[in-house]
Structure 1
């Protein structure tokens, strides 16, 4: 019997708290490291561009925000891959897994290409329409156009890593991301500041480095899954198990993705709207916002790794018909997220200036950023909790209810409250993170109630 899931684990009947904490950490740790590696791409970009000055950093923050929004949407659209893979794996139908991966890759290429084209042609008019400084908008649009090429390749890589995570094999994705970070740092230094015959490209060079690394990641991960797994035949990855057209049966995968993608679009779109709002406050505010968001996002990646582990374990439990295990998987994920993000927030609040100097030595930027750290720290704890509960609900097969909650918490609360606090009430960037805290508390509370209801429902028949 395979050791791929909790179902086959020797202690599968153990519903003690210590067992579930241990199992969640074992799965989450490499996932967390991989998510931190993803975030490190952007962090390295900000650190390198921070040395180039506030103007290149501002144009990269503005140019990248629309791309980040659509990338988050794209990742949501592909969420059906890990959800279905975890459920099928929990049910023991291993031979169907390869088909899920192949359907995901095709979907990734199509969706990624469409969003990429939209960005290439739509970024410059969007920035002008929203009242950004014309010179800054033109430079930011160049960055957006380059980063847009990244989307199809990053989508293929995301399908591969989330597929392996659903199989409880997160280490290959983690190693791939760590390797790519070394390449990203080297390419950033060369392309941003110039080296030999290569001119200094500034923010566009930083964007080009991201695209190069994404291409390498997509190719490497796809080759590994197709040819590198020792049990690829048993998993249906050899191409000889099921030769039916890939579009058959792909509706369920896409259906899960539509809801998740819409939810991600709502959440990421709200952050994009708020970043554009901060752009109205000037380059200094954008630079502060870009740095502060790194702290929030780095810690959020830890929570997202725990959320992924919770989703996989909830899906496995659903597949094997274990209602108690399903409930414990979700609540343990939430508790671990609160502990980890709370500890990080404490560090951020105690030593803000020391940590901010990693990103900049500009005293003006530092003076503006330090007071914002308290609110950013509080926001990241609440945002991490709502992410875990969101993914736990999706592991139960829930789709549109979490999506509806995003409409309420992010567009009915976060964006309007941020606009009110940042501009008329004069809170500036701090107002953005005050609003994020409020929105996340509302979202987390409602999702906790939703998961509690789902966990008490009779479980459906296992998928085959």
Structure 2
């Protein structure tokens, strides 16, 4: 008799419908908010790509090698905010939710200003990674400008994670929509030169990004302070900042940050390999990964919602709801992936043409976009499972899995496929497919072992 048969009453159709409905309701604004983050980058890439083929390469290497790496690290380091907030929310300990957010504010700013300092060494870092002097100079200049908005990005993330943890993702979605309109307008002014400004190209786009990040951080803080129930969540209550009191919040962040950095550095290595292939290959990879990021970010919203739903179930001590939340996350992710995969596979030429009019660049980009359709489901599904494990507060075993898949396997395989077998930029996509399949297998096995097989107390509330 299977586990599902043994606990049939725990898996009733009504329960499945409830969990799936709540997941979808939570997912939609998170998806739109995450998609908004991605479209900020798409607008930047498209506008700079039409301005200069060379400068879009500077933009790509600046973001992948350092600026985006820092932000990805912040997302992980601050993940404890969302995980523990959702756990406390599920346990109806609302004041603890506010305490978690209050602790995350100075914590986020420390990392933000640390990232600000690191960005001043952008050019030497790119030279160390083997980039040409021209690419290192251009990319380094972009990184220095982007450094100004890095602290605000960290502050924005901790506030957004708090709102998602208490099941209120809608404000983040609305502010992100406004931010995208602002970004388009600012790029039009600063990249091409309007309203008396000289054309600034990729540097103008970087300044636009800074302004948008300041707007987002300020808007979310304003909303929390004035529109979230202060008494219920204890937003202005005295908070114990003793180091040991919020140890778990930091440790979840350490593991998630480590995991995110490992995975992202694996992708950053792919950009480095693309740069070694030449400016056209670097530009093609930049556009292809930017395009892939759109459907990925949509599915990443599902992953975030899955983490919250699993975390709420953990706060209630309901193991079966934890497993069900993970299953619903995988199912909803698959439903979203299928039409998105079709678009990538059947319309790569149309998509590539949006980003550049350079014939050589478009030709190099088309096969990368088409092949990326096949890694979409695997990469997004493993992301859903990774976030589900974070919702369970299972942090270090998944981190080991990510090191294995995205460092020990993907990077050497990328070099082998790209240079040894001479697959060129196509090899950069092929290695991700292999690594994501391995990651999905390992993470899924771990999640369902913890929720359906491993013996533990039914009343397992871990939110403090």
Aligned counterpart, 2:97: 97
Aligned residue number for residue 377 of structure 1: 373
- Once the two structures are superposed, the pairs formed by residues 276-291 of structure 1 within 5 Å of their partners are 276-291=272-287
Task: Give the structure 1 partner of residue 149 of structure 2.
Answer: 150
Structure 2 residue aligned with 1:297:
293
Within the candidate set 234, 237, 255, 1:236 is matched to 234
Matched, 1:414 2:410: yes
| 3-state SS of 1:16 partner | helix
Counterpart position of 1:171: 170
Q: CA deviation at 1:101?
A: 0.6
**Structure 1 residues not aligned, in runs of 5+:** 1-11
Say which is worse superposed, 329-338 or 246-255, in terms of deviation. 246-255
Would you say the 8 A contact 2:186–2:208 is kept in 1? yes
Write the mapping of 1:41-440 to structure 2, written as runs, cut at 5 A. 41-65=40-64, 66-121=66-121, 123-229=122-228, 231-237=229-235, 239=236, 241-245=237-241, 247=243, 249-440=245-436
| Richer in helix (by share) | 2
Q: Is the 8 A contact 1:102 1:246 kept in 2?
A: no
**Cα distance between partner residues in 1 of 2:239 and 2:17:** 44
Which portions of structure 1, spanning 4 or more consecutive aligned residues, are displaced by more than 4 angstroms? 12-15
Contact 2:52–2:201 (CA under 8 A) maintained in structure 1: no
Q: Kindly indicate whether the alpha-carbon contact (under 8 Å) linking 2:145 and 2:203 is maintained by their aligned counterparts in 1.
A: yes
Q: Quick one: distance in 2 between partners of 1:322 and 1:252?
A: 21
CA distance in 1 between counterparts of 2:438 and 2:241 reads 43
Post-superposition offset of 1:248: 5.8
Task: Check the 8 A contact 2:40/2:183 in 1, yes or no.
Answer: yes
Instruction: Tell which deviates more after alignment, 47-56 or 364-373.
Output: 364-373
Residue 16 of structure 1: aligned partner: 15
Task: Verify the 8 A CA contact 2:418 2:425 in the aligned structure 1.
Answer: yes
User: Which whole-Å CA distance do the structure 1 matches of 2:413 and 2:12 have between them?
Assistant: 47
CA drift of 1:381 comes to 1.5
Deviations along 1:9-38, one digit per CA (max 9) or x if unpaired, are xxx997533332222111100000000000
Counterpart Cα distance in 1 of 2:343 and 2:219:
37
- SS for the counterpart of 2:356 is coil
C-alpha separation between the residues in 2 aligned to 1:319 and 1:133?
51
Structure 1 residue 462: deviation in Å?
4.9
| Residue range with higher mean Cα deviation, 109-118 or 387-396 | 109-118
- Given that 1:77 and 1:261 are in contact with CA atoms closer than 8 Å, whether structure 2 keeps it comes out as yes
CA drift at 1:213: 1.0
Cα shift at 1:197: 2.9
Deviates more, 1:126-135 or 1:287-296: 126-135
Q: Structure 1 stretch 205-214 or stretch 368-377: which is displaced more?
A: 368-377
Provide Cα deviations, 1:299-319, integer angstroms capped at 9, x if missing partner: 111111111111111111111
CA distance in 1, matches of 2:395, 2:178: 34
Query: Secondary structure at the residue paired with 1:428?
Result: coil
- For residue 355 of structure 2, give the secondary structure of its aligned residue in structure 1: coil
Which stretch has the larger CA shift, 449-458 or 28-37? Answer: 449-458
RMSD: 1.7
Alpha-carbon distance between aligned partners in 2 of 1:129 and 1:351, rounded to the nearest angstrom: 37
The CA deviation string for residues 226-280 of structure 1, in whole angstroms up to 9 with x for no partner, is 1222x2211111x1x3343465622111111000000001011111111011111
Q: Is the 8 A contact 1:310 1:329 kept in 2?
A: yes
Q: How many pairs are equivalent?
A: 450
Alpha-carbon contact 1:422-1:432 (below 8 Å) kept:
yes
Q: Deviations over 1:409-436 (max 9, x none)?
A: 0001111111111122221211101000
Q: TM-score, structure 1 length as denominator?
A: 0.94
Q: Name the residue aligned to 2:3.
A: none
| 8 Å CA contact retained: 2:59, 2:139 | yes
Q: Distance in 1 between the 2:142 and 2:349 partners?
A: 29
**Comparing 37-46 and 147-156, the one that deviates more:** 147-156
2:241, 2:104 → 1: CA distance?
13
Moved more, 206-215 or 220-229: 220-229
Deviation, 1:322, is 1.3
Report the Cα distance in structure 1 between the residues aligned to 2:57 and 2:245, rounded to whole angstroms.
45
Gaps of 5+ in 2: 1-10
Q: Equivalents in 1 of 2:180, 2:427: separation in Å?
A: 32
